[in-house]
Structure 1
Amino acid sequence: MKTFNVPVIYRSPLISAIKNQRKQEDRMKKDFTPTELDFGPIRILLARHFGFCYGVENAIEIAFKTVDENPGKRIFLLSEMIHNPHVNNDLLGRGVQFIMDTSGNQLVPWESLQHDDIVIIPAFGTTLETERQLALLGIEPLKYNTTCPFVERVWNKAEQIGKKNYTVIVHGKPKHEETRATFSHSQAGTPTVVVKDIKEAALLAEFINGQRKPDEFYDLFKGQYSPGFDAAADLQRVGVVNQTTMLATETQAIADYIRQVMMATFGLTEATVGERFADTRDTLCYATNDNQTAVTGMLLEPADLAIVVGGYNSSNTSHLVELCEEKLPTYFISSPEHILSGSAINHWDFHHKREISSNSFLPEKDRITILLTSGASCPDALVEGVIRRLLSFYGLEHKADELATID
């Protein structure tokens, strides 16, 4: 796989040494057990896979290279390049401006842009409408494009089944930049509707099998369907794609459920189900799959708590938190600085979108075990920082330096 030129500030000698050793031991990536870091009174189990993915490293390389090669030019990002505050703040610090926030609200008026300005498309991609807006301003929309190849793969799958007259069902968060982009690309070629979870999929199924009248669809799915969507006609043939960072298990559950609904409603068999349900297979990216599977493997080990590191608005990171929360106390932090002491921690409650404080988060035991992972947009340097912070409470920070030299 291609290697990228990522700023050294995001790298970690310690984490690189650990990852390289695991790669040598498990080249086929079949072992999802965590890496054990035993420091005596504190034992850290590090997920097999975590941190920057291909798409994130690709985006970072393009963005920083663009800044370096265009001194004196105005450089804009459509919105946050990835959902990590450290990376975004570094770009802002180098003079890059955001045109929109993550919800699509305008921060820089379109009319203030000039034809010779540079506009970078984030890793999430963007809508066709935004591409047209840039073109109208004389700005080549795809010249500085950091869209993740795995996001583009979803767009291609939606286009393929759309050409075969299937309606596209997108499993994603309706307001997320990636889902908005996927919806835009899909609805350009075929009727499209977004479902955010299995509950909305079940609701949509009631329109497929006729339990609900078509007229009810438009209020229940307001803002989540393409213009001209016909609830009576456009749910006769469907296929499911997704926002690449969703929970793999939920996406699969939604696809399997809708498939069964189509079979039951239209009297299909395994041999004929393709007449009504497109075989899209899994459109999650490899990193999402690997990171979630690694957390599942990590959770098989007895532990006292879990720490997940990443941006608070990161979808893929929040799903790792969800998985951990099912089994044990979990603390979602964006940086080591949120660990205030051996007893106090400030962490993110993503269910209620607020930061909360907890005391006595490290149990008073002779030996504690902590599960540790991070999201696909989180620099390894932050994970090393968390390890060092935890070790400092036991006077063991020097042990991190020893580990960084392993062959």
Structure 2
Amino acid sequence: FGVTHTALNRLQQRKCEIVDTTCGSVLTVWKRVEYYAQNGFTTIIHGKYPHEETIAVCSQISKYPAAKYLVIKNATEGMSIADFIGGNISKKEILRQFTGRYTTGFNPENDLQKIGFANQTTMLGGESRQIAEIVREAFAARYGEEQTERHFRSFDTVCSATQDRQDAVRDLLAAGDLDMMMIIGGFNSSNTAQLMQIASESVSSFHIQDPGDLISKQEIRHQTFPAMKVRITDNWLPDGAVKIGITAGASTPTRKIGQVLYRLFELKNIPAHQIKRIVNAT
């Protein structure tokens, strides 16, 4: 996810050996927000403010003393920005609604006249594009279509691996014949939570971390959405044949996915030799 530039500077000052493994998709976001900062655009970031990636992105903007940012979490908050641009809500309301998620000294009246849009790479791609369009349309309504580019810039920075998984889940759900979805990944994983959000809108879904969460045919340990609470649910696995769609977060090891598959077959009392034949055929 990257690190804040202040933390990196401290490590460099201490002569630490640094191996930079920042994701290339994250570096693309950094380059984009630096462009905004250098050209007088306030960056609006679609992301989760406590997330390490968003904190690091904000830090890249803060390298430029005059630059500003604002973090929004969903399309509803995007509508608030559009309402302010259109003169429908006050500066005071914007500052109240986004307390703690903007640069020190942020002034909506000055700093929301030119906006550059970016997103945390693991957010829902469709929602990010929706927010960008909401804000763009607000500027077009206020200044006219021909002046919109002077006030608004956007660049889709959703990670391709994240987008591919979101698209694959939608394809699975579109078939309409699943009994449930199993989403595998860390409970603190943003991109896994987005997969859970997509799946849970259409079918009974369970977000688990590993095969150990499949306690028995009667009990499953999982994280709920949108409450994000870990709980144990009873009687989760129906008797008889059941069709389960399986997906996993971008950083979930393939080995772990295989282990979950084996555990599901075990719970359905499928013999080991049949499990191997089924897995080898997929």
After TM superposition, the score normalised by the length of structure 2 is 0.92
What does 1:278-293 correspond to in 2, within 5 Å?
278=153, 280-293=154-167
State whether structure 2 residue 208 is matched by structure 1 residue 330: no
What does 1:213-224 correspond to in 2, within 5 Å?
213-224=90-101
Distance 1:240 1:317 in 2: 23
Partner of residue 307, structure 1: 182
- Per-residue deviation, 1:204: 2.2
Question: Runs of 4 or more off by more than 4 Å in structure 1?
Answer: 403-407
Partner of residue 248, structure 2: 374
**SS of the counterpart of 1:345?**
strand
**SS of the counterpart of 1:308?**
strand
Kindly indicate which of the two structures has a greater share of residues assigned to helix: 2
**SS of the counterpart of 1:290?**
helix
Partner of residue 346, structure 1: 221
Question: What amino acid is the match of 1:127?
Answer: T
- Per-residue deviation, 1:297: 0.3
Query: What are the ranges of 5 or more consecutive residues in structure 1 without an aligned counterpart?
Result: 1-123
Partner of residue 67, structure 1: none
| 8 Å contact from structure 2 (residues 197, 225) kept in 1 | no
**SS of the counterpart of 1:312?**
coil
| 8 Å contact from structure 1 (residues 312, 348) kept in 2 | yes
Partner of residue 259, structure 1: 136
**SS of the counterpart of 1:185?**
helix
Partner of residue 236, structure 1: 113
- Per-residue deviation, 1:404: 5.1
Partner of residue 259, structure 2: 385
| 8 Å contact from structure 1 (residues 312, 350) kept in 2 | no
The Cα offsets for residues 144-172 of structure 1, whole Å up to 9 and x where unpaired, read as: 22111100100101112332221110000
What does 1:43-122 correspond to in 2, within 5 Å?
none
- Per-residue deviation, 1:406: 5.2
Partner of residue 168, structure 2: 294
Quick one: structure 1 residues 136 and 219, their matched pair in 2 at CA, closer, same or farther if it must change by over 3 Å? farther
Question: What amino acid is the match of 1:223?
Answer: G
Question: What amino acid is the match of 2:147?
Answer: T
State whether structure 2 residue 12 is matched by structure 1 residue 125: no
- Per-residue deviation, 1:212: 2.5
State whether structure 2 residue 11 is matched by structure 1 residue 134: yes
| 8 Å contact from structure 2 (residues 75, 130) kept in 1 | yes
The Cα offsets for residues 247-285 of structure 1, whole Å up to 9 and x where unpaired, read as: 01110110010000111122x21x43211111x331111
Distance 1:193 1:168 in 2: 6
Partner of residue 275, structure 1: 150
Partner of residue 119, structure 1: none
Question: What amino acid is the match of 1:313?
Answer: N
**SS of the counterpart of 1:200?**
helix
Distance 2:218 2:257 in 1: 19
After TM superposition, the score normalised by the length of structure 1 is 0.65
**SS of the counterpart of 1:139?**
coil
Question: What amino acid is the match of 1:349?
Answer: T
Percent of aligned pairs with the same residue? 32
Distance 1:404 1:303 in 2: 19
Question: What amino acid is the match of 1:283?
Answer: T
Question: What amino acid is the match of 1:240?
Answer: F
Quick one: structure 1 residues 397 and 318, their matched pair in 2 at CA, closer, same or farther if it must change by over 3 Å? farther
**SS of the counterpart of 1:346?**
strand
Distance 1:289 1:352 in 2: 23
